[in-house]
Structure 1
């Protein structure tokens, strides 16, 4: 801790500025970073209350992280769309449709002029729509819309799963189907799972 400031108007509240040596962190590990910064320290009994207000990560540490090809320019390149905003939507209703009807909704949106559609984060592999069926029907809809419009279309297939192994299985299947983009809910799926998926996407030309 290199500086402490009293919170204006508060008697027993302070802002503490803490600097950590980079050697305390494993390179490329979000998990280790947050374990050190927002993990153990919040369990100190000597602290009555603690809140993380801000976090500044030095460029030297940021450079140890890899990720998938990302950014709006890469997405434009994948979809071959330039000079205008991209137009997309999340399929609704997000839950309750069969895989076939879900795929039909994807087709109608893409055929109607959207550049891309995406799964809702809640859509994983429920009994009424298993993930493999959804992937197949959505891909069929994607290619059908592309053929009829002459444009490249996209659908963000949700690869989020209950285990890392299952998540990777879904991402690999999406790549085999030829879709350009997959998505993952990293807040619930976890930083380690998301980093693993990011590395796979980078190595295999998928957007994440």
Structure 2
């Protein structure tokens, strides 16, 4: 990759010639518009214009994927041609400006009248450009160090009920979950600073339980407090968590925005747990939005330490193939010679029975395996739920079938009987 340019790859659909549309995209997102304007000299275009690097035409389809009033007014009809387009942009156009980088690779392109579908699939950046942005401060190794989990998957859970508990009730649940043996506990994305359990009261109550457990056992349980809010409030919440001995904060990425996450990253050394709720609105239509590789690239430039990837055989719409690819994206450095890997968080309908597929897919323990109902709803209680997941990981690593392993693992046997229905 050229050191002074970054590259974005798109999937487009259009009734026009894909080469023409690619040139429109390159001009629109750099120095041009729909026609050359005064002052747009050849020298300026040479310096600042984006360049079409490759066009790979794919199959055509009979109907457009998305409505387009301009094409309808023009009376355009099919075939609707699809193509994969790779465009490079001068780094100097953007600089170390994350919101503008996002606007460049994923801004007005979605509104172009020439397309009936457009999706940002991937984003590649040179090492010199990566170095201008924040790195994760905790990442995989730091999360292991802070939780004391030197080997094996890190087992986490989500506080349920999502909302309604008082600070004292939340702390009591955290006490039970710490005793159950979890490594990680997180708030739900819809519970941030509610009136019935404000962070100013909930954080001290929960951290008192965490500290007591740590003093008694030597084990620090990482709690990801949801501090999603406006920027100054998030900084105050992070300071409170740090004073109370906490190690992690969580933010709803799509609703806080790049600037807020960058500010938070530079303000605190706590682990940043990136929750992607709302990502489905950006990704579920195959010819619209943004694929996870490009999505997580932008958020990793903001300095997050953990990224949600959903879970295998889970309750959400993503295919297992998409979840696996997302985890591999988290494990892949964004540029050569820079270790900026982040910890993938597997969540959504996870329990002991989904462990074998997870292990087979990633062949790695460097993940957060988060289970809400799979732990809290286990018929033997939370401790049995945690045990069933650890037993499932042991079985998967040994290559043993869960049913066979469960003959000498009663917690796993109970999980298979209860959740397997």
TM score, norm. by length of structure 1: 0.88
The correspondence for 1:23, drawn from 75, 89, 92, is: 92
In the TM superposition, what whole-angstrom CA distance separates every residue of 1:7-48 from its partner, at most 9, and x where no partner exists? Answer: 224433233221111111121x32111111111233333444
- Determine whether 1:147 maps to 2:215: yes
Return 5+ residue gaps in structure 2 as ranges. 1-51, 62-78, 273-421
The aligned counterpart of 2:56 is 5
The aligned counterpart of 1:196 is 263
Q: For residues 88 and 219 of structure 2, what CA distance do their matches in structure 1 show?
A: 51
The aligned counterpart of 1:169 is 236
The aligned counterpart of 2:246 is 179
Judge conservation of contact 1:94–1:119 (CA < 8 Å) in 2: yes
The aligned counterpart of 1:120 is 188
Q: For residues 42 and 130 of structure 1, what CA distance do their matches in structure 2 show?
A: 39
Q: For residues 270 and 203 of structure 2, what CA distance do their matches in structure 1 show?
A: 15
Judge conservation of contact 2:192–2:228 (CA < 8 Å) in 1: yes
Return 5+ residue gaps in structure 1 as ranges. none
> What secondary structure is seen at the aligned counterpart in 2 of 1:182?
strand
Question: Would the alpha carbon gap of residues 87 and 48 (structure 1) be closer, same or farther in structure 2, given more than 3 Å must change?
Answer: closer
Judge conservation of contact 1:111–1:149 (CA < 8 Å) in 2: no
> What secondary structure is seen at the aligned counterpart in 1 of 2:110?
helix
- Determine whether 1:206 maps to 2:273: no
1:101-116 counterparts in 2 under 5 A?
101-116=169-184
Whose strand proportion is higher, 1 or 2? 2
Q: For residues 155 and 110 of structure 2, what CA distance do their matches in structure 1 show?
A: 43
In the TM superposition, what whole-angstrom CA distance separates every residue of 1:44-93 from its partner, at most 9, and x where no partner exists? Answer: 33444432233222332222111341222111111222133322211111
> What secondary structure is seen at the aligned counterpart in 2 of 1:78?
helix
Question: Would the alpha carbon gap of residues 23 and 94 (structure 1) be closer, same or farther in structure 2, given more than 3 Å must change?
Answer: same
Alpha-carbon deviation of 1:97? 0.9
Q: For residues 81 and 171 of structure 1, what CA distance do their matches in structure 2 show?
A: 24
> What secondary structure is seen at the aligned counterpart in 1 of 2:55?
strand
Judge conservation of contact 1:67–1:199 (CA < 8 Å) in 2: no
How many equivalent pairs are there? 203
In the TM superposition, what whole-angstrom CA distance separates every residue of 1:82-115 from its partner, at most 9, and x where no partner exists? Answer: 1333222111111111111011101110022222
Q: For residues 186 and 162 of structure 2, what CA distance do their matches in structure 1 show?
A: 10
Q: For residues 59 and 68 of structure 1, what CA distance do their matches in structure 2 show?
A: 15
The correspondence for 2:157, drawn from 69, 72, 89, is: 89
In the TM superposition, what whole-angstrom CA distance separates every residue of 1:124-172 from its partner, at most 9, and x where no partner exists? Answer: 11122111111111111111111222322221112211x1111111111
> What secondary structure is seen at the aligned counterpart in 1 of 2:120?
coil
The aligned counterpart of 1:55 is 123
The aligned counterpart of 2:391 is none
Structure 1 segments (4+ residues) deviating >4 Å: none
Alpha-carbon deviation of 1:184? 1.5
TM score, norm. by length of structure 2: 0.46
Q: For residues 179 and 192 of structure 1, what CA distance do their matches in structure 2 show?
A: 24
